[in-house]
Amino acid sequence: MHHYSGHCLCKRVSVQLSLPKPIEHYSARNCDCDYCLAKGASYLSDPASKLEIHSGVELKRESQGSGQADFLVCPSCNILIAVTVAVNNELKGSVNANVLEDRSRLLAAKNVSPKHFSAQQKLSRWKELWSIVTLDEACTT
């Protein structure tokens, strides 16, 4: 496995992405929905990879499109960290490649348009493409 780190602007949220191949073998995916365009998000995942998210603060969760996935946002600097969904008692997700320190080593990004998929098609696609996620965040309850 190849390990890559990243963080949001204020560094309260960090990520560790373990990929089966070097990052130079991957293209991030640019979603064309209004939300992702406004956030400047570009997603990276591999079904054989692991994404660890560590946060010293409780993350904001935003919902878009079909409302099935949670967009995890740093509440301090408002940077989108990742998008996640629970599938069969497992958290799957895709990191915003823009938070990775090695993002410049990625292949050219590909444009995708999941807004044209049904809710079921989206979920099927996420099961196939997204990483396994471990989320460690401070909770203020």
119 versus 46: the higher-pLDDT residue is 46
Buried-exposed string 79-89: b where 16+ CB fall within 10 A, e elsewhere: bbbbbbbebee
pTM: 0.91
- Residue 140's pLDDT is what? 52
Helix H or strand E encompassing 52: strand 50-55
Domains of the chain, earliest start first: 2-137 (2.170.150.70)
d(CA 102, CA 111): 20
pLDDT over 70 at 135, yes or no: yes
Give percent of the chain with pLDDT exceeding 90: 69
